[in-house]
Structure 1
Amino acid sequence: MRADAERSTARILEAAEDVLADDAAAPLERIADAAGVARATLHRRFSSRGALIDALAARLNERYVSALAETRVESAPPLVALRRLTETVFDLKLGHRFAASLPAAVTPDVLAGLDLVFARLHDAGMITAADPTWGRRIFLALLHEVADLPAGAPTLAATGIDDEIDARTELHVRTVLGALGGDPARNDERGAPETGTPRS
């Protein structure tokens, strides 16, 4: 019974993400139909539309937190961490277009992880912007803009990278570094910084 409930909950969440990404005002009946469950089943799992949306945000936040852990933001070279994190977030945003638009999907733990990346980039001399909160805000604002570019956008094509996620990652990272006083040309394709004396 528990396994069946977990499977139906997962189907409902996946269906809700797809349906609401196309129509944020879609009724719950359409989500139930897309999930292949009765509306009563949906209501047993989620007492209201708000509860369903909260669950979508919580699920995406868990994946953001996992991404921060897998990226090793505390120990990996900071530019490598930034690239890995950007790639993962783009992948999540493309697969969770509705939930990614919810402010509740980004909790203080996620924001703190992003701040750490930008503090480490500054400490390593890769950016001149000293305020990690500003770095994080630039990162998130540009993330939205780059994610919204159509697949055939000239700006993406100019990266010379065929893979969509890789192209968006490259464009985003180079733009963020440039906006924060960094020099993306100093770093190789894998994001390894040149050696040198860090800026104070």
Structure 2
Amino acid sequence: MRADAARNLDLVLRTGARLLAEDPATSMSTIASAAGVDRRTVYRRFATREALLSAVFMAKLDNVDLVFEQARLDEAPVQVALHRYVEGIVPVSRQWPVDMHRMMRGDPTAYARAREQSRRLDRFVERAVDEGLFRDDLPVGWLRALLDQVVSTAAHQFTDLAPPEAADRVVESLLNGIGSH
């Protein structure tokens, strides 16, 4: 793929992610216009809005896989892996704000990948419990929900925080809570 074509594809996917997250009914023409490309460019690459949405989902999943690899969830010390994960996933969440639940309903391939990523993160949380970083008197599902919500809050409600600072705050909040000591 030529460099300009790759750049246009990336623009369309990122713009599509943002606009479709804001309004799932956004048209392909609106996405093309906002991305600064001709709508024929979008239609040449994606025959339907669903095809574009599927490509957006896959791009997000690819980025999540990269974060998992860089965080070394299975090998790095748990606290280090947690910080790396949060620092990496915050920008992914910001750049690819598409709804994971919608992705899971509409695209079986994306659904299967998202479920595997979720299981991998569950295993990491279990490892954090086993190694004493997270409490063992709370269900893993509860701990995972807290992790997901605090990360989402950092990514979408505190957009002024740079990813390293967001990771510092998320890890500090998860490990030490919010009560005064």
Question: TM-score by structure 1 length?
Answer: 0.70
**Does residue 148 in structure 1 map to residue 146 in structure 2?**
no
User: Who is 1:110 aligned against?
Assistant: 117
User: Who is 1:174 aligned against?
Assistant: 172
User: Who is 1:85 aligned against?
Assistant: 85
Q: Percent identity?
A: 25
Gap change, CA 1:87 and 1:109, over 3 Å in 2: same
Gap change, CA 1:20 and 1:109, over 3 Å in 2: same
1:19, 1:31 within 8 Å by CA — same for their partners in 2?
Answer: yes
Moved more, 76-85 or 165-174: 165-174
2:11, 2:35 within 8 Å by CA — same for their partners in 1?
Answer: yes
5 Å-filtered alignment, 1:119-198, equals 119-129=126-136, 131-150=139-158, 164-178=162-176
2: CA distance, partners of 1:177 / 1:23: 36
1: CA distance, partners of 2:157 / 2:7: 34
Q: Which has the higher helix share?
A: 2
2: CA distance, partners of 1:6 / 1:89: 23
2:32, 2:39 within 8 Å by CA — same for their partners in 1?
Answer: yes
2:90, 2:152 within 8 Å by CA — same for their partners in 1?
Answer: no
In angstroms, what is the RMSD of aligned CA positions?
2.7
Consecutive unaligned residues in structure 2, runs of 5 or more: 104-109
Please report how far the alpha carbon of residue 38 of structure 1 lies from its aligned counterpart in structure 2 after TM superposition: 2.6
Please report how far the alpha carbon of residue 18 of structure 1 lies from its aligned counterpart in structure 2 after TM superposition: 4.2
The one-letter amino acid paired with 1:141 is Q
User: Who is 1:68 aligned against?
Assistant: 68
1: CA distance, partners of 2:119 / 2:45: 31
The one-letter amino acid paired with 2:142 is W
The one-letter amino acid paired with 1:176 is L
2: CA distance, partners of 1:7 / 1:165: 24
Q: Deviations over 1:29-54 (max 9, x none)?
A: 12112333332331221121122112
2:32, 2:38 within 8 Å by CA — same for their partners in 1?
Answer: yes
Q: Deviations over 1:53-86 (max 9, x none)?
A: 1211110111101111111111100111011101
Q: Deviations over 1:108-159 (max 9, x none)?
A: 221122112212211211222364333222211222223333457xxxxxxx
Question: TM-score by structure 2 length?
Answer: 0.76
Count of aligned residue pairs for this structure pair: 167
1:81, 1:117 within 8 Å by CA — same for their partners in 2?
Answer: no
Greater Rg, structure 1 or structure 2? 1
Please report how far the alpha carbon of residue 22 of structure 1 lies from its aligned counterpart in structure 2 after TM superposition: 5.3
Gap change, CA 1:12 and 1:136, over 3 Å in 2: same
User: Who is 1:36 aligned against?
Assistant: 36
